[in-house]
A and B are shown apart, each in its own frame.
Chain A
Amino acid sequence: AQTVTQSQPEMSVQEAETVTLSCTYDTSENNYYLFWYKQPPSRQMILVIRQEAYKQQNATENRFSVNFQKAAKSFSLKISDSQLGDTAMYFCAFMRANNAGNMLTFGGGTRLMVKP
Chain B
Amino acid sequence: DSGVTQTPKHLITATGQRVTLRCSPRSGDLSVYWYQQSLDQGLQFLIHYYNGEERAKGNILERFSAQQFPDLHSELNLSSLELGDSALYFCASSKRSGGAGETQYFGPGTRLLVL
Contacts and interface: CB of A to CB of B under 8 A. Distances in A.
B21 to A, nearest CB: 15
Interface stretch (B11-19, B22-30, B69-77, B102-110): B102-110
A101 B103 contact: no
Interface of A: 32-33, 35, 37, 42-47, 50, 52, 91, 95, 97-106, 108-109
Contact of B56 (A45, A100, A109): A100
Interface residues of B, number: 29
Contact of B45 (A42, A46, A91, A103): A103
Nearest to B106: A45
A102 B43 CA distance: 15
B26 to A, nearest CB: 13
6 contacts: A33-B101, A43-B108, A44-B2, A101-B98, A102-B101, A105-B45
Please indicate which of the listed interface residues B43, B44, B56, B57 has the most CB atoms of chain A within 10 Å of its own CB: B43
